[in-house]
Amino acid sequence: MPDALAPWNATLTLAEHSIIVYALSVAGLALFAFFVKSWVSTNEITGRYRTGVYAGMCITGIAFLSYVLLVVEFALGYDRKGESWIPNANAILSWAPRYFDWTVTVPLLVIELIAVATLAGAAARRLRAAGIAAAFLMISTGFIGGVVIDSGTNMGALWIWGIISGIFMVILYFLVIYVVVKGGRDLKGSEAATTLRNAGILLIVTWMAYPIIFGLQGWGHGGAVITWMQVVLSAADIVAKVGFGSMIHKIAKLRSAEDVRAGTDTLPEALWISSEKLSDGTIPNTATTHHSQNTATVAGEQRGRH
């Protein structure tokens, strides 16, 4: 079986090099912007759904750092010779950090989704564990075939490990579909249900970009294809992390507002989406607070007597 051409071994023109730098930089800045936005708006979400926001912050924070590394290594991995950029021994690191990022952030995407869905308790824990495992194995097995074995030039390894990775991807797809369908039924007729469905569709469609790009690695190709691979992966990361994260944040706000209106949770300030007021600010029930404090005091006195 012929050897594959690893994308980091291709020579780039000046234009191709500039486009890749632009794509990597824009993706990194978009991820950082959403991280900051999530950081300053955690108080818009009640504690029940805040795990989803924290997961989104971890995702964009990690991805931003990986793009900083990608830009640095891309600059170090190519040498200018006339009208071309020639890859050197460091060029592989202009690609490999993507796998480092995905190994952590794809499992976090699963956590982010389940955090705002309708699963709870043991059912949520079981599905979350299964999703994290499938996501981790999907990325790590792809890394073995795409980077580890013969530095990504072994066509047989690309096929074998790509199929193994694809099996875990199918499992992950079934999990996402189950979570979204169940959530749609439980939240039937609400805006949160519609947004949850759209978030699931967005994630499923966006994830398809990654196996396509992985498959392109097995072709003989030049700098133009490599450029498009980098651009598509950068765009997919923005959509899967920023776009999906924005939807998750919206679902968390909508469900938080429902809980506040129902009196089952509290938020210190009014909750708004697109200048539309969803709920008023509330404070914890005073009687309940005093009861909890009195109970704690009595318990402390009883321990003191013993």
pLDDT tens, position by position, 115-165: 999 998 999 999 999 999 999 999 999 999 889 988 888 888 888 999 999
Quote the percentage of the chain above a pLDDT of 90: 60
Give residue 215's pLDDT: 75
Give residue 218's pLDDT: 65
Give residue 7's pLDDT: 85
Q: What is the mean pLDDT of residues 270-295?
A: 55
- The whole-angstrom separation of Cα 141 and Cα 162 is 7
pLDDT digits (tens, 9 = 90+) for 191-247: 999 999 999 999 999 999 888 887 777 665 678 888 999 999 999 999 999 999 999
pTM confidence score: 0.85
Cα 138 to chain centroid distance, Å, stands at 14
How far the first Cα of the chain sits from its last, in Å, is 78
Give residue 156's pLDDT: 87
Q: What is the mean pLDDT of residues 68-78?
A: 95
Please report which residue ranges of 121-243 form alpha helices under DSSP H: 121-143, 155-186, 191-207, 209-216, 223-237
- The whole-angstrom separation of Cα 235 and Cα 27 is 7
Residue whose pair of structure tokens reads 């993507």 in the numeric block: 98
Neighbours of 290 (CB within 10 A): 10
- The whole-angstrom separation of Cα 210 and Cα 166 is 11
pLDDT digits (tens, 9 = 90+) for 283-304: 665 434 444 444 444 344 444 4
Q: Which of 238, 227, 218 is nearest to 157 (CA)?
A: 218
